[in-house]
Structures are given as structure tokens and as C-alpha cells.
Amino acid sequence: MGKNHKFETNAVHGNYQSKQFLGSLTPPLFQTSTFTFNTAEQGEGRFSGNEEGMIYSRLGNPTVQLLEDKMAILEGAEKGLAFGSGMAAVSSVLLHYVEQGSHVLCSKGIYGCTFGLLKWLEEKLQITFDLLDMNTIEEIEEKISDKTACIFLETPINPTMEVIDLSKVVSAAKKHNIPVIVDNTFLSPYLQRPLEWGCDLVVHSATKYIGGHGDVVGGIVVGKAEVINEIAMHVRKDIGGIMSPFDAWLLLRGLKTLPVRMERHCDNAEKIVEKLKLHKKVDKLIYPLLTTNISEGQMSRAGGVISFTIHGEKEDAQKLLNNLHLIKVAVSLGDTETLIQHPATMTHAIVPEEQRLMMGITNQLVRLSVGLEAWEDIWEDLNQALNKL
């Protein structure tokens, strides 16, 4: 399995060879903390790096490695690395690149906890960061300094669903030899593969579309083997934000249906968007398909997340959520169930109001992660709740 197969085939098989595991069709779960050595000399060889093999599950585990390998194949990367959460992946990547006094250039909107991490790094290590629209190469270059350690961005941005042109970012970054990191959580590798556009690393909260069933928390980073090996050795190993073998096993299971699920998420979202367009209680509708030429861009489809603002105040947005029945009020996204949340008071509550508003996160904004239910049932529930405002 591998490069010669199409995405859907790789999502099912990856490079898994059942004959290596007693013919097991399903990848086995290596639920162990440590591994035995045949001899003391073998242990010495593995710790010195002169002999390949497992040592201890914080350093590597066969089930986790199968997930890392499959994610690398799907993103077109040389190597992958798994973490205990999306934020463990984000923090490990940033800690790899920055040092005291560094500067990080970010997309105008970022996940609330990513913002919180950057503020903490600013307070503790004087690591500064700028939030930028990234609409033009000139705008990006203007903010780059000799202290800029990396460019970190989301596209589409959480939760405003703004799309960033990766070719522009890469063009500006390469002039200054600055690595570009893309959080690809909202689209998954099925709909967008930033490495193909020249980006250096891709980060996922695997909790979302990679797992797809709301039953596991995890993070993934993929990129060139040299960089991934450095992050594994100097950040993940010593800080210890590892993924458990069972969580990796669940994510491997989730990946098998990723293409099928993503198509249904997109189909349902597009139908809900068409309905929301016409509803008098909806003030502004935000979905990449409405603002981006998908057929010519870096995304194959627009994904399963919709944001919209309603006429009214914060209390009206909360009333909308409280009047729903089928749709669940919860943070996260990419689950089989349709989820809705209020970013200003939930996922981005940590962001100060001035910066939150600059990001476009108003009190009237809600974020809808469209699930796999019949779209008619999703709309019926959303419509009745909107009509009560």
C-alpha cells in the first residue's frame, strides 16, 4: 500500500501488512507500557540508536506508529507523530521552533487554547506573536522580522471559516527561510493537503474528523522526517504528551471511513447553508463555499462546519442553542452528531474581547458542526429554534 493507491484505499489500508501481525485483518492493539529485550546488549543497542526496536511506549509503540505512518501517507508527508491531544501537538511544534525572545506570525483567527498558549509563552519567555489577515504577500513580509521563528495558521480559520491562500503564505515565508505550520483540523487530509502547497508541517486535532466518533482525544503532526524526529526526541519524549495505544487504535478505525464521512458532512453542510441563506433570523452566513472558488483552490470541498450570526444579542444566540433538541450543544466538531456552540463564551472565551472582535468573533456568532444525520432532520431542528427568536 502507499503512494500508488488512491486516497480512499490508503485510508483503509495505509501501509499495514497483516502478515507481520499473525494475519490479523485489523491492526492489533499493543496495550503495553514497556517492551522486553532478549539481552542486555540488545537493550544497549536500542537506547544508543544502533538497533531498531521498541523500548517503552512513551518513546514509541507499534499501534501508535501504524497511525503515524497512515497519517503521513494521507497527508503526503515523510513521517508522522502522534500526541495525546491536538494542543499537545500544537504546543510541541511551537516549542520546537521558538526560543526566548522569538516571534510567531499567526493567522488573524486561531483556536482559543492556541491563543492562550501564545499568551503564556509571551508572559513566560517573551515570545511575541502577531495576528494577521495574510491576504497579500506584502502584508505577510511586512510583519516578518529576524526574530520570526515560524508562521502558524489555520485555514479555514476557527470559527470564522475564513480561507487563507497557502501559496501566498509559502511564497513570503520561503523568501525568509521561515517554516509554515498549518492546522488542518477543519478539513482533514481528504479535503486539503497543505504540504502539497509547500508548507512544512501539518497539525491536526485528531479528536475531530480523524476519529470522527466523539470517543477519543488526540493530536497529529506530519512533515519531513528530519523535523519530526527532532520533535519526537527533544519535545515529545521529555515533555511526554504522548498518545495511548488504545486511542491510536480508535483513530486507525476512524480513518477507514474518513472519505465516506467527509463527503456526507459536506453534502449535509451545503444543504443547510442553502436553507440558512433564506432565514430572516440569520444576519451573516460564513461558509468557504460562499467566498472561495473551491474548484480552483487548495480545498476540494468546503467541509462540514458552518458559522453564522443572528439578529440580536448574546442572549438570543444562547436562546437559539437552548431551544435545540436533536442538535447537541457541545464544543468540538467532526463527530457523527451535529454539534453547536457559542465561540465567544466557549471555545474562545479566553481571548480578550478586543482581540476576539478583531478576529470576527462577536456575541451573535454561533458555530455549527454538521453531522451525519439526515439533513432534513438537522434543518427541522435548527429551523424551529431560529423561529423562536
- C-beta neighbour count of 45 within 10 angstroms: 15
Distance of alpha carbon 301 from alpha carbon 360, whole angstroms:
23
Candidate list 16, 56, 58, 119, residue with the active-site label: 58
Q: Is 287 in the active site?
A: no
Which positions ≥6 away from 208 have C-beta within 8 Å?
86, 185, 186, 188, 332, 333, 334, 335
Candidate list 183, 247, 335, 381, residue with the active-site label: 183
Minimal CA–CA distance to 386: which of 293, 294, 298, 324? Answer: 324
Distance of alpha carbon 307 from alpha carbon 272, whole angstroms:
11
* 307 and 360 Cβ atoms separated by less than 8 Å: no
Distance of alpha carbon 182 from alpha carbon 153, whole angstroms:
5
Which positions ≥6 away from 171 have C-beta within 8 Å?
137
Candidate list 46, 79, 108, 208, residue with the active-site label: 208
* 286 and 269 Cβ atoms separated by less than 8 Å: no
* 184 and 202 Cβ atoms separated by less than 8 Å: yes
Q: Is 119 in the active site?
A: no
Q: Is 183 in the active site?
A: yes
DSSP secondary structure, 86-105, as one string = HHHHHHHHHHHH--TT-EEE
Q: Give every strand in the sheet of 282-286, ordered side by side.
A: 282-286, 305-310, 365-369, 339-341, 328-329
> What is the torsional sign of CA 333, 16, 20, 18?
positive
Q: Is 56 in the active site?
A: no
Candidate list 97, 111, 209, 287, residue with the active-site label: 111
> What is the torsional sign of CA 365, 371, 376, 382?
negative
Amino acid at 249: W
Q: Which residues are catalytic?
A: 58, 111, 183, 208
